[in-house]
Chain A
Amino acid sequence: MKEQSPLTQFEIKRLIDIQLGGVDASFTNSSLMMIFVLVLATMLISLGMSKRAMVPGRWQSIVELAYEFIANMLRENVGSEGRRYFPFIFTLFMFILFCNLLGLVPYSFTVTSHVIVTFALAAVVFVGVTIIALVRHGFMFFTFFVPPGLPVVLAPLLVPIEVISYLARPITLSLRLFANMMAGHTMLKVFGGFVVALGLFGFAPFVFIIAIYALELIVAVLQAYVFTVLTCLYLNDAIHLQH
């Protein structure tokens, strides 16, 4: 039996080599999963809402619940000004949620277990939020780094801290999601290896895997939620410019 590293599951495999004007746009296993995410998320909503029932059925209820969930999150964290950004927040939540959940299907690939993907999402959020703040408040935006009631003596110390913590946002946001996904999948793979290695006694790690898998399902939903709710909080900071 060939010994496999628990990390091989994260390998990018090029399925179709594509070069677009010198840019490597190869279709990989990651791209395939992204396409699945796109198709499944769109299908869930179109099929779920296809009946437009006054009293929703099972699938329509799921779609409506997701909608209300994100709408409430946005309303509670940002307020009425956040309504314009609802499509983006909703897309972000659905994309991450489907990436996380589809990644839990055996033999599939977890898109969000790659730091470059989560960092790209976080960077879009960070840049977008900063642009919104600059457009709404102009130079007043920079007062965000000066906490109200700050003594002048402490300013040279606290302002850099505020700036650093602001600049660290995309990093913490992306690392949180990436690390959670990668750790969970690595652990599943490691214990999967134990099941094979222990033979008949593999029963114990097998039970453990079932428990971990349930936990990973929760983590998948939770991390999608955390990413989205933090985006809402950053958006709130940008719009209301408060700590």
Chain B
Amino acid sequence: MPQLATADFVPQLVWLAITFIALYLAMWRVAIPRIVDVLEERQRRIDDDLMRAESLKREADEALAAYEEALGEARANAQRTASETRDAIKKQAADREAELDEALAKENEAASSRIRAAQVEAQGNIREIAIDAARAVTQCLIGTEPDDGAVGAAVDAALEGNR
């Protein structure tokens, strides 16, 4: 078995030491720092990009919040204006109605008093017509001119009885 040839041990060990130490130095001083550089640079880029994305997202969120706030304010304003207008219109209508009611009531009153006056006047006219009619009927029936006072009393009594 060639692996047990002790004479070959020393040269193998010498060259193992030489090459392994050389490889170690190459890895330690050159290769690994270079790999670490690249990996760190990449990580930094990724972190930067992530951070920028995050700040952009925050900005967008802020803009959205501002927009929503403005929208809400506008909506509230609109609602307030609408309700104010509605109230004003209602008040105006109520005022006008009250005015109209008043005018109507006044007119009604006037009409009522006119009616009453006409009634009184009409009643007065009835008495005179009745007296004239009674006198004319009496003259026609019995041919004598009745006494004005007696006819008036009789008419008054009859009107009184009708009432």
Contacts and interface: CB of A to CB of B under 8 A. Distances in A.
Interface of A: 7-8, 10-12, 14, 18, 20, 23-28, 30-31, 34-35, 37-38, 41-42, 45-46, 49, 52-54, 56, 60, 63-64, 67, 86-88, 90-91, 94-95, 111, 113-117, 120-121, 178, 182
A91 B19 contact: no
B15 A64 contact: no
A28 B31 contact: no
CB-based closest 8 A-B pairs: A31-B15, A87-B28, A34-B19, A12-B8, A45-B31, A10-B2, A25-B14, A91-B24
Contacts of B31: 42, 45-46, 49
A141 B22 CA distance: 32
B16 A34 contact: yes
A12 B26 contact: no
A54 B8 CA distance: 47
Interface string B23-44: 1101110111011011101100
A95 B35 contact: no
A91 B28 contact: yes
A86 B5 CA distance: 34
B142 interface: no
Nearest to B24: A91
Grouping DSSP codes into helix (H, G, I), strand (E, B) and loop, the B interface class, with mixed when no group exceeds half, is helix
A226 to B, nearest CB: 19
A17 to B, nearest CB: 9
B42 A91 contact: no
How many residues of B sit at the interface, in one of the four size bands?
A: 35 or more
B23 A37 contact: yes
Grouping DSSP codes into helix (H, G, I), strand (E, B) and loop, the A interface class, with mixed when no group exceeds half, is helix
Nearest to B27: A91
B38 A52 contact: yes
B46 to A, nearest CB: 10
Contacts of B37: 52
Contact of B23 (A18, A25, A53, A95): A95
A67 to B, nearest CB: 5
Given A25-B14, A31-B19, A42-B26, 7 more contacts: A10-B2, A38-B23, A45-B30, A54-B42, A67-B39, A91-B24, A95-B23
Contacts of B26: 38, 41-42
Interface string B6-23: 011111111111111011
B35 A45 contact: yes
B144 interface: no
Given A11-B2, A25-B14, A88 B19 contact: no
Nearest to B14: A25
Nearest to A124: B20
B162 interface: no
Given A24-B11, A25-B14, A90-B27, A37 B38 contact: no
Contacts of A41: 23, 26
Nearest to A115: B3
B45 interface: yes
Nearest to A32: B15
Identify which of A12, A27, A113 gathers the most chain B CB atoms within 10 Å of its CB: A12
